[in-house]
Amino acid sequence: MISLTSPVEIWSHRLPAGLKLAALSLATLLLFSTDNPVLLGGAVVAVAGLYGTGGAVFFRQGLRNLRVLWPFLLLIALWHGATGQMAAGLVVALRLLGALALANFVTMTTRLSDMVDVLTVLLTPFRRLGLSTRALELSIALVIRFAPTIADKGKLLSLSWRARSPRRPGWRIVVPMAALAIDDAEHVAEALRARGGLEQPRRP
Amino acid sequence: MERNITLIALFAALIAALGLIPKLTLAFGVPITAQSMGIMLCGTVLGARRGALAVLLLLALVALGLPLLAGGRGGLGVFAGPTVGFLIGWPVAAFVTGFIVERWRTGPLALVASVASVIGGIGAMYLFGVVGMAILLDKTLIEALMLVTIFLPGDVIKAVLAGMITAALARSRPSSVLSRS
């Protein structure tokens, strides 16, 4: 499955994921603790500079990842333009832009496996308490494995619908999609039980 | 045990797959995706606890950097964006929806599941979503609510469809509709 990690390797890929996540949390906290447009503007410029160190291709990819924010920025501009509170609007827009871009930066420069490692470390206290985290680890693998499979089945269902009807399939294919997902779940559960199930191996 | 885990994981995968269905556009130009219907289905089919866990599992994978949200979105950025309240509301929505279906056992399942989806999938989800938007966009709650009302008709349609789909699944896979077993 495609992940959102950037194919362009930059320096930040080599930093420990835990450090990047801690820095991101701290930076986001700071962004939300100030109402000063100059500070926020400076933060956005700094984040843009961070993207700039990755080169032109990386920078453009970063811009594309921000496209979800445009409707909201437009909305803020219209709203605050109409009510005449441009300074307040600028603060909201800069803060959103900075926080979102910084979070995307961490996602773009951290491999999925490194993120999973951080999650495993964060779950250590639960294992110390004797709780099994195998269920979680297994379910993560199952989702990564089955999300594309179910999507493919959905595509096949909509193709066969089109072969039979001139109308669009729409929501009607959701019933067979969900039924197939349920069937897959039953089969995988059976296969897991046949291989000894999720119980930890017993020590003699 | 194994069955619970695989159903939770496969429903998380189903929500992701529903995000890939091309979105319908309502008459007045508001796009709706099938993904929030997936949240409702998690509650109506898996029940409160398992439904909420399936949604949490999906959100965990999104945070890890997988593009599982509608339109290929994902990563930590979605948790810093203005719609983060809706994401926080998702597991609650699935829980409330499932809770109602589990408790309200009289009446036809399609109706019960539709009403539960309206209360959980719309009521609970918008509660969190609107509060989140009000905070992040620096608006009052009423203003934030006005901003999302255009999505309400689409979500009501999805709630009714979720009810019908749940009833259809209860007929074709009766033992797997855990909210009623």
* pLDDT, mean of residues A126-140: 81
What pLDDT is stored for residue A41 in this prediction? 93
pLDDT above 80 for B181 = no
Find the CB nearest A107 among B5, B24, B77: B77
> How big is chain B by its Cα radius of gyration, in Å?
16
Report phi then psi at B69, rounded to 5.
-85, 160
If 0-12 CB within 10 Å is exposed, 13-18 middle and 19+ buried, where does residue B64 land? buried
Is residue B41 within 8 A of residue B165, CB to CB? The reply is yes
Query: How far is residue A45's CA from residue A41's CA, in Å, rounded to a whole number?
Result: 6
pLDDT above 60 for B6 = yes
Q: Looking at this protein, which amino acid is placed at residue A148?
A: P
What pLDDT is stored for residue B146 in this prediction? 86
pLDDT above 90 for B8 = yes
Q: Which two tokens stand for residue A114?
A: 């490194």
What pLDDT is stored for residue B27 in this prediction? 47
* pLDDT, mean of residues A73-92: 84
Cβ A182–B173 below 8 Å, yes or no? yes
Find the CB nearest A175 among B67, B77, B165: B165
What pLDDT is stored for residue A201 in this prediction? 53
* pLDDT, mean of residues A77-95: 85
Read off the DSSP letter of residue B28.
T
Q: Which of A67, A155, A182, A200 to mutate to test the interface with B (most CBs of B within 10 A)?
A: A182
CA separation (Å) from A171 to B21, B33, B103?
9, 10, 27
Helices A174-194 and B152-172: angle between axes, nearest 10 degrees: 50
What pLDDT is stored for residue B166 in this prediction? 94
What pLDDT is stored for residue B169 in this prediction? 92
> What is this structure's pTM?
0.87
Nearest-5° angle of CA B33, CA A150, CA A182?
100
Tell me the pLDDT band of B127, cut-offs 50, 70 and 90.
very high
Query: How far is residue B55's CA from residue A99's CA, in Å, rounded to a whole number?
Result: 24
What pLDDT is stored for residue A75 in this prediction? 84
Q: Looking at this protein, which amino acid is placed at residue A186?
A: E
What pLDDT is stored for residue B130 in this prediction? 93
Tell me the pLDDT band of A135, cut-offs 50, 70 and 90.
confident
| Chain B residues close to A198, C-beta within 8 Å | 1-2, 5
Lowest mean pLDDT among A53-62, A120-129, B32-41, B152-161: A120-129
What pLDDT is stored for residue B24 in this prediction? 57
- CA distance to partner chain B, nearest, from residue A20 (Å): 12
Query: How far is residue A45's CA from residue B158's CA, in Å, rounded to a whole number?
Result: 41
Digit-coded pLDDT (tens) for B133-150: 898 888 888 888 988 888
Q: Per-residue DSSP letters for B111-172?
A: HHHHHHIIIIIIIIHHHHHHHHHHHHTT--HHHHHHHHGGGHHHHHHHHHHHHHHHHHHHHH
Report the first-to-last Cα separation within chain B, whole angstroms. 15
> What is the share, in percent, of chain B residues with pLDDT greater than 90?
55
What pLDDT is stored for residue B43 in this prediction? 94
| Chain B residues close to A175, C-beta within 8 Å | 165, 168-169, 172
What pLDDT is stored for residue B156 in this prediction? 92
Most confident of A72-86, A181-195, B17-31: A181-195
CB atoms within 10 A of CB A91: 21
pLDDT above 60 for B29 = no
